[in-house]
Structure 1
């Protein structure tokens, strides 16, 4: 953003300050509702769904010792198993979770999302997403540009690849000498946010487990893993290659894998002695 502000001359500082202050909108309840409706594609529950959700939600918040009325329950029209904690007061679950999960497993899902709110993950992740958005855009542009340059350089065989390497090295040295290498931090932004996301997921799992929902949460994770395996099998049956699991894709994932989450739930699943 500081680099972009250079194009605004004397108004550059005001531009940066306005962008920083815009993050306060995530604490505005109408803005939260607009984000839930238009960005996350959530809706208010029907009377039947509310009758299903609210008793379970009261049980979860009572165990946690928090006021459940401070949060709003929303529903996503999806046949997949998923849930989300958004901004500071929104807990969203899919239609599948409401209608297909037993109350105990639904409680585990809600307890996990409440853990995001109690731990401050929902607000921090939304603020992180907003403030990192320029970095994400710049990272994608940089990746597309370097990818294009590399493909063009390959046309000229090894000399083209060598020229590409020299160009990239020259750009890196220029940023280090003139801008202290700050633009290179753009490359680390997606990885840093993904690492924070994985840690917050494990913390939310721990919150649900500490409330007594560890066995139910493990069952939910098993169902989620089974759905993912079915989706991969459907892709293979349709003749499409499954997304390759590479070290880079693992580092960019915002959620830990199934086995990692089960491993961290292990101490809560052991019978008391």
Structure 2
């Protein structure tokens, strides 16, 4: 099975563009301070350096820092390598193209990240081999559909924009604290001046990051795209012959689910479809001629 960029990956790329442009503006502003004669150089170097984040060494650091995963020990690798090799053989991809990781969690789960990262929880290793293979096939589906590398690239391109927002939020909190302190001391004019400075900073932040105004819409679209990616990865697993085993895993999750499924706005912002929806779509894939 060959790699193919699907609709959810394309949607993620389009939704990334406003943050990417904001990040370029931030890097350009940084360049104007550090290299006033060539302010564009830092932005260009940062943009081109995105290729480096897919190098094995960079992905290793990314996996440990962002997902808190570790490489499997000898026993864990023995439980994981055989089903992973089997899935890759069915898909027709080299099993050593990807690196296997363990997430320190008691729940049964797995993830695909970067260009080559596949991780499972310790509890997932205790699943029957067919069900473990089904979970791994789902994660391989994320890689083959471009979901994992697009998310990795999106994370890199959004860092400067999001750091500028965090920095501005910190400064706003400090200004608010200073204004309240001066107000308690009776310096009404100083409190007003601090408030105006905060307003100016907020306007500058929005000017530098106009994508913030789109958050109410983009957050809904990103959640929808994430749910679409999950069903697309399920479809890959079904095409590889793991549909029924994945249904069995989802039914197990349904039995262990605590509380009702999200509704209303929470459902719209959910990054995963309900287990019922995923099972219904998987059954449809399995019954297609």
User: Which residue of structure 2 lines up, in the alignment, with residue 191 of structure 1?
Assistant: 220
Deviation at 1:51, TM superposition (A): 1.5
- 1:211 is aligned, of 237, 240, 249, to 240
Residue by residue over 1:133-153, the C-alpha shift from the partner in whole angstroms, topping out at 9 and shown as x without a partner, is 4555677899998xxx9xxxx
Distance verdict in 2 for CA 1:12–1:44, change over 3 Å: same
Q: What is the alpha-carbon distance in structure 2 between the residues aligned to residue 187 and residue 139 of structure 1?
A: 16
Distance, in Å, in 2 between the alignment partners of 1:97 and 1:142 is 41
Could you tell me which residue of structure 2 aligns to residue 265 of structure 1?
A: 282
Q: How does 1:215-230 map to 2 (within 5 A)?
A: 215-229=244-258
For 1:28-81, what per-residue CA distance to the aligned partner results, in whole angstroms no more than 9, with x for missing partners?
Answer: 110111111222111121222111111111211111111112111111121011
Aligned residues: 234
The CA distance in 2 between the partners of 1:74 and 1:251, in whole Å, is 31
How far the C-alpha of 1:217 sits from its partner, in A, is: 0.5
| Unmatched tracts of structure 2, length 5 or more | 1-22, 177-199
Corresponding residue number in structure 2 for 1:43: 70
Q: Is the 8 A contact 2:72 2:100 kept in 1?
A: yes
**Structure 1 length-normalised TM:** 0.72
Query: Cα 1:12–1:182, aligned 2, differ >3 Å: closer, same or farther?
Result: farther
Distance 2:212 2:105 in 1: 39
1:106 matched to 2:132? The reply is yes
Residues 202, 261 of structure 1: 8 Å contact kept: yes
Structure 1 segments (4+ residues) deviating >6 Å: 138-145
Alignment partners' CA distance in 2, 1:19 and 1:189: 25
Unmatched 5+ residue regions in structure 1? 150-170, 234-242
Give 1:3 shift: 4.3
> Superposition RMSD on alpha carbons, in Å?
3.5
Q: Tell me, what secondary structure is at the counterpart of 2:93?
A: coil
Higher relative contact order (CA 8 A, sep 6+): 2
Name the structure 1 match of 2:141.
Answer: 115
